[in-house]
């Protein structure tokens, strides 16, 4: 979007940062699949989630340094700081969810497995759509809002699956403590897509600001 060398370098780092965040999410997805399959490898995969989240942090700090050194006009700099921070929160949410699984070990009954698999697929689709949207923002693509709508639609589909799962949990005969344990796990997972939608909202604000 910008022709200034420092700004262009930051934009490429921001794209890399989103890639790092996406890899964190995919490691989290792999861990969930193996956790549901009762494969003990999920413990090792939890470590991979942490490694990828740390990699995203390194990229985030590099972007912060470039911004401090003067990339972008001062009027936009705070916006970019905020966008990078919001992007990083997605990886943080993946890490926190995986920690929750490892530390508290919720038991997902077979009746929930199909819906949880659907959540995983939709979460990946949401990230993929976010990636398209983000690159459209960097490129100044006129279809930016169209790509944003795709992210919003997928997030709503995740909300619907989340509601269905929680309803199934609370209609079951499980002890109330177990019900809330499972609900917390599902809510923590769905936090990722919430943050992805929030990020598109924030980027839209900056895109409008730049266009003025």
pLDDT of residue 40: 84
Say which residues have a Cβ less than 8 Å from residue 132's Cβ, sequence separation at least 6.
Answer: 147, 150
Q: Which residues does the chain have with pLDDT short of 70?
A: 1-3, 212
CA-angle at 50, arms to 58 and 22, nearest 5°: 70
pLDDT at 105: 95
Q: In whole angstroms, what is the distance from residue 61 CA to residue 59 CA? A: 5
User: Structural domain tally of the chain?
Assistant: 1
- Contact in structure between 13 and 63 (CB atoms under 8 Å): yes
What domain range includes position 203? 5-211
pLDDT in the model for residue 211:
80
Q: Which pair of structure tokens corresponds to residue 23?
A: 């890899």
In whole angstroms, give the CA distance from residue 171 to residue 211.
50
Distance CA(72)–CA(35), nearest Å, equals 44
Instruction: Report the pLDDT value the prediction gives residue 1, as an integer from 0 to 100.
Output: 53
Burial of 119 (C-beta count, 10 Å sphere; 0-12/13-18/19+): buried
Q: What is the pLDDT of residue 4?
A: 79
Residue 111: CATH number of its domain: 1.20.58.220
CB of 95 closer than 8 Å to CB of 56: no
What does the pLDDT read at residue 3? 56
DSSP letters of 155-188? Answer: HHHHHHHHHHHHHHHHHSSS-HHHHHHHHHHHHH
| 169-206 pLDDT per residue, tens | 999 999 999 999 999 999 999 999 999 999 999 999 99
Q: Which residues touch 16 (CB under 8 Å, ≥6 apart)? A: 59
pLDDT of residue 212: 63
| Distance, CA of 130 to CA of 84 (rounded, Å) | 14
């Amino acid at each position: 979007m910008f022709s200034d060398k420092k700004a262009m370098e930051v934009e490429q780092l921001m794209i890399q940062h989103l890639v790092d965040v996406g890899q964190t999410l995919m490691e989290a997805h792999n861990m969930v699949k193996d956790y549901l399959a009762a494969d003990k490898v999920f413990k090792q995969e939890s470590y991979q989630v942490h490694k990828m989240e740390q990699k995203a942090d390194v990229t985030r700090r590099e972007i912060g340094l470039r911004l401090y050194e003067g990339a972008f006009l001062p009027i936009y700099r705070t916006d970019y700081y905020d966008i990078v921070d919001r992007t990083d929160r997605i990886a943080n949410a993946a890490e926190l969810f995986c920690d929750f699984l490892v530390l508290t070990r919720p038991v997902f009954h077979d009746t929930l497995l199909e819906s949880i698999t659907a959540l995983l697929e939709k979460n990946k689709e949401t990230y993929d759509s976010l990636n398209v949207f983000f690159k459209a923002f960097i490129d100044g693509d006129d279809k930016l809002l169209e790509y944003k709508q795709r992210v919003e639609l997928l997030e709503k589909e995740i909300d619907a699956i989340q509601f269905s799962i929680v309803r199934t949990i609370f209609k079951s005969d499980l002890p109330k403590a177990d019900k809330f344990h499972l609900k917390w796990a599902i809510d923590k997972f769905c936090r990722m897509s919430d943050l992805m939608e929030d990020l598109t909202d924030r980027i839209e604000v900056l895109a409008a600001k730049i266009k003025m």
